[in-house]
Chain A
Amino acid sequence: MNNGTVLEVRNLKKYFVKSAGILSALVGEKKRHVRAVDDVSFSISKGEVFCVAGESGCGKTTLGRTILKLLQSDDGQIIFQGQDITRLKSDSMRKLRTKMQMIFQDPYESLDPRAKIYDSVAEPLVVNHLVEDEKEKRNKVIQALELAGLSPVENYLYKYPHNLSGGERQRVGIATALVLDPEFMVADEPTSMLDVSVQANLLNLLKKLRREKSLTYLFITHDLSVAYALSDRLAIMYLGKIVEMGPAAEVVMSPIHPYTRALISVVPAINLSKNQKPIILPGETPNPENVITGCRFHPRCYCKVERCLTEEPPLMEITPGHYAACFVQEKMKSKEDRK
């Protein structure tokens, strides 16, 4: 592990227990686990935009929250800037939080409706005792709002969230994260609730901030076209596991895992340019409560073999830097190599 690694996640697990009601408990029904994040490992280097993409229920949102310790993980390790923060208590975590911030998905819900914009952006400074006086606080708040592209700043300082548009609110959310001068940002679907033109502006802002403030991003999204445009490396999640991981351009343009292939083929934006026949998978993403033996994707897979039903494939390096969790693909690749 070199100095350039900001975040390393090793075998991270987060399960939710679906508590049975009193009646079922009396009958003796066992509690069911939802394996939201099931043995996930990856690392992010400084300055990189690492994207985790997948459909709803794949665990990407839970992953983001668990990494930021908004949820307590059940197993595995989270190593932030060389420090193991997996079991860190909330008090010690508070100091670290200034370095790792989150951008939330819902611009309508992530700001306190009763707090003015100025107070919302100033709050991180206040609770962490980072400013000495009112003047310094005001300067930092204005700076953060300007960085987030809101100008003229005076128009926004004393308004309430409900006076602002969705895009503006999202920028305020970014400002509250920026005001602490963090090094690492987890962006949880920051543009999925915004219009296309607003989304484009916001994504470019994130790109700009990464350049200007040397930020490292963990970007969570369900939109593969956004993942393609923004990220350096891309990981695809399915039912709590990473099924493919590699350079973003490669994963989108030359996907390996059958799930990724199918997914890419049905994203209209990508499909427009490639114009290939879409692979439409049968059924829907299964309920994460149900345990599937072998490869989690096999019930819907169109190229499975015997092995897939009993053995769970690990992430294997198929081409340099490009990993996929699929026995069939790995076999095909090694066949090709031997030729």
Chain B
Amino acid sequence: MESVRSRRWLRISGFLNFWRVFRKNPLGLIGVVILACFLFIAIFCPVLSPYDPEATVGEIAAPSSPANIFGTDQLGRDNFSRVLYGTRISLILGITAAAIAVFIGTTIGVASGYFGKGSGEILMRFTDMFLVLPQLALMIILAALLGRSIYIIMMVVGVTVWPLMARIVRSEVLSLKQRPFVERAVSIGCGDFHIVLKHILPNVLPLITANAILTIPWAIISESTLSFIGLGDPTVVSWGSILTSAFKNSAIMLGLWHWFIPPGLAIVLLCVSFALIGHVADEVLNPRLRR
């Protein structure tokens, strides 16, 4: 009975620890709150938006009015609804691209780090090849070959970011390999796979998570950039595409701030929130740093 009680208490105290660390970091908390708002918007945007983002509901490039808080774009579509729906794309895009980068980067990084000389070195050279790929050029080529699609963008960002992840993971794995507790694992008879899964990966996790979280803003901004130069997916509502159309339609000159500021601000806020969370993530996930 004693042990069951203490087990439950330790699990609860695990959450309390989590909460305590976040509480101590007001910045992290702000990041979480902002992200929560965006998540809420992303999930409930059909309910929250007054209009269908693709439907023409007003005059072309109309200024802000009670009917259209952010005005309308060059096709008369409500900007407010478009910004709300844009949240979905940004989040999905960011998370998927980061996931691709993490998956490939971690696998190659761990393999390269664990196997050291020989195959490890070969993997590193392979990584270096991808490291030098220019994101933009790749995007243009693929867009030309396969058409402009949001999936291509996700893939390109993932494929150009994973080498950095692999390098970081590799150096961490190399240093972890030297630590006595890995030596101990060998001495008690653990096989390589077990050591990697149970000892190396969990200890690399904080680093991966922190980096993954910081990859997401990069992906979102990359998409905006690509949209801006005309490589974005025209069938999808993204903040980048809203910004692009605002720019192309001289919104700045016409003083139509309601058109281009909201999406720009949204990008900044979402990226900042991820940055703040990533900042705190390491401390939360690393039991050793917790005091």
Contacts and interface: CB of A to CB of B under 8 A. Distances in A.
Direct contact of A and B (CB under 8 A): yes
Interface of A: 65, 68, 70, 94-95, 97-98, 101-102, 104-106, 109-115, 123-124, 127-128, 154-155, 157-160, 162, 173, 176-177, 180
A150 B119 CA distance: 44
B180 A104 contact: yes
B184 A110 contact: yes
Contacts of B181: 109-113
B184 A113 contact: no
A94 B185 CA distance: 11
B180 A127 contact: no
B288 A124 contact: no
B187 A94 contact: no
Contacts of B186: 70
Interface stretch (B1-9, B85-93, B265-273): B1-9
B188 A70 contact: no
Contacts of A115: 198-199, 202
Interface in B277-291: 287-288, 290
28 contacts: A68-B187, A70-B187, A97-B187, A101-B188, A102-B184, A102-B187, A104-B184, A105-B180, A109-B181, A110-B181, A110-B184, A111-B181, A112-B185, A112-B199, A112-B202, A112-B203, A113-B203, A114-B287, A123-B188, A123-B190, A124-B188, A127-B188, A127-B189, A127-B194, A128-B188, A128-B189, A158-B7, A173-B184
A42 B284 CA distance: 50
Interface of B: 2-3, 6-7, 10, 179-181, 183-191, 194, 198-199, 202-203, 287-288, 290
Contacts of A98: 189
A177 B185 CA distance: 11
A109 B179 contact: yes
A109 B180 contact: yes
Nearest to A93: B189
Contacts of A65: 183
A94 B2 CA distance: 37
A98 B183 CA distance: 15
* B185, B199, B202 interface centre (most CB from chain A within 10 Å): B185
A103 to B, nearest CB: 9
A31 B269 CA distance: 56
Nearest to B200: A112
Nearest to B285: A114
A157 B10 CA distance: 11
Given A113-B288, A154-B6, A157-B3, A123 B185 contact: yes
A113 B204 CA distance: 12
Given A70-B186, A128-B189, A162 B2 contact: no
A102 B188 CA distance: 8
Contacts of B190: 123, 127
A176 B188 contact: yes
* B181, B185, B202, B287 interface centre (most CB from chain A within 10 Å): B181
B202 A114 contact: yes
A329 B150 CA distance: 84
Contacts of A104: 180, 183-184
Nearest to A163: B287
B183 A106 contact: no
A65 B179 CA distance: 14
Contacts of B179: 109
B116 to A, nearest CB: 13
B287 A97 contact: no
A64 to B, nearest CB: 10
Contacts of B180: 104-106, 109-110
Contacts of B185: 112, 123
Nearest to B7: A158
B110 to A, nearest CB: 15
A67 to B, nearest CB: 11
Q: Which 9 A-B pairs have the closest CB atoms?
A: A124-B188, A110-B180, A97-B189, A109-B180, A114-B202, A94-B189, A113-B288, A112-B181, A102-B187
A32 B3 CA distance: 56
Contact of B188 (A97, A109, A158, A160): A97
Given A112-B203, A154-B2, A155-B6, 17 more contacts: A70-B187, A97-B187, A102-B187, A104-B184, A105-B180, A109-B179, A110-B181, A110-B183, A110-B184, A112-B198, A112-B202, A113-B203, A115-B198, A127-B194, A128-B189, A173-B184, A176-B188
B287 A158 contact: no
* B190, B191, B199 interface centre (most CB from chain A within 10 Å): B190
Contacts of B188: 97, 101, 123-124, 127-128, 176-177, 180
Contacts of B202: 112, 114-115
A160 B181 CA distance: 14
Contacts of A113: 181, 203, 287-288
A252 B202 CA distance: 47
